[in-house]
Amino acid sequence: MKQYPFFKVSRLLRLSRLRKYIAFFRLYFTMGLQYRTAAFAGIATQFTWGAMEILMFRAFYQSTAPDGIAGASRFPMSFAATASYIWMQQAFLALFMAWLMDNDIFTSIMDGNVAYELCRPIDIYNMWFSRSLASRCSRAVLRCMPILLVAVLLPAPYGLTAPASLQAFLLFLLTLALGLAVTVAFCMLIYISTFFTLSPDGIRTIAMSMVEFLSGAVIPLPFFPDRVKEILELLPFASMQNVPLRIYSGDLSGYAMLRAIGIQAVWLVLLVGIGKLLNRAAVQKITFHGN
């Protein structure tokens, strides 16, 4: 009982410290909601892209290999599951596309405006993290509904099918949040690398294409050869969109799913830890060397 008041005070302190980052989230979330034209354009693009991808997969599923075995029987996911995967991916694209980065952060580091941020009582890592989360969420909120709606109305097997169970749906939401956090934590490393290089472009280009290919954004990871897939699933990239999309489409369940969620959590902790260390080194560098 004696420790209770102390516990309460320290918790309140932590909460009040969190408040400023929540305020950042709110501001950037509302800021994102004002870009309506961009959202319309995004919806149109994502819808077209999703449809094209599904038609492409349809061609593969309907093809027959030279040995006479139908393509569909060799594919790791059913066609309906692949269609669901693609629609969900397009609807929540803004949460996971690594290339959707905040250019303001890059310019503030390069032109030195970041000094202004350091003149305030804030931790820049936490600030940028909540900002990035917020702008991704607001983009996704604006874009997901029309895409989901149309996808649900499409006839089977081209449309979006309901999740396997309520439990699968809840786990989808959980891993969606985890995957978003892993994506943002990864992007943070790229932002912070700008402190150490003259231009972020090189690292950015390499990182973007790696994420794109290795996270299952181009083709879902189950379509990779088994040995390759085993390795890919351990990488941080697989902890982004791969887990929630496959849980939703029913491709990932049971032990494999629990393992995937565990890996997501480990990567989140690791990436945030590395990011905070790098950030501290970066702030040291600025304060010691003046730039």
Partner 1 sequence: MITLEHVSKTYKVSKRNAGFSSACKALFRREYEYIHALSDVSFTIQDGEMVGYIGPNGAGKSSTIKILSGILIPDSGTCLINGIVPWKNRISHTRGIGVVFGQRTQLWWDVPVIDSYELLKEIYQINTHTYRRNLERLTDMLDLSGLLKTPARQLSLGQRMRCEIAASLLHNPRILFLDEPTIGLDAVSKLAVREFILQLNKEQNTTVILTTHDMQDIEALTNRVILIGKGQILLDGRLEDILLHGSSAEESLAEFYRSHGI
Binding residues (CB under 8 A) for partner 1: these are: 16, 19-20, 22-24, 27, 30-31, 34, 112-113, 115-116, 118-123, 286-291
User: Nearest approach, Cβ of 129 to partner 1 (angstroms)?
Assistant: 15
Residue keyed to tokens 């950030």: 279
User: Nearest approach, Cβ of 282 to partner 1 (angstroms)?
Assistant: 12
Q: Which long-range contacts (CB under 8 A, 24 or more apart) does 21-28 make?
A: 21/126, 21/127, 21/129, 21/130, 22/130, 24/127, 24/130, 24/131, 24/134, 25/130, 25/131, 25/133, 25/134, 26/134, 27/134, 28/130, 28/131, 28/134, 28/135, 28/138
* Nearest residue to 187 (alpha-carbon basis) of 110, 85, 278, 90: 278
Nearer to partner 1, 115 or 145 (CB): 115
In sequence order, the β-bridge partners of residue 269 are none
- For residues 14 and 70, what is the distance between their CA atoms, to the nearest angstrom? 59
Nearer to partner 1, 177 or 283 (CB): 283
User: Nearest approach, Cβ of 269 to partner 1 (angstroms)?
Assistant: 24
* Nearest residue to 232 (alpha-carbon basis) of 260, 192, 194, 265: 260
* Nearest residue to 239 (alpha-carbon basis) of 37, 98, 68: 98
User: Nearest approach, Cβ of 188 to partner 1 (angstroms)?
Assistant: 20
Nearer to partner 1, 9 or 31 (CB): 31
Residues 6+ apart with CB under 8 A from 153: 159
User: Nearest approach, Cβ of 20 to partner 1 (angstroms)?
Assistant: 4
Nearer to partner 1, 7 or 288 (CB): 288
User: Nearest approach, Cβ of 67 to partner 1 (angstroms)?
Assistant: 56
User: Nearest approach, Cβ of 170 to partner 1 (angstroms)?
Assistant: 32
Nearer to partner 1, 274 or 286 (CB): 286
Nearer to partner 1, 114 or 151 (CB): 114
Nearer to partner 1, 19 or 36 (CB): 19
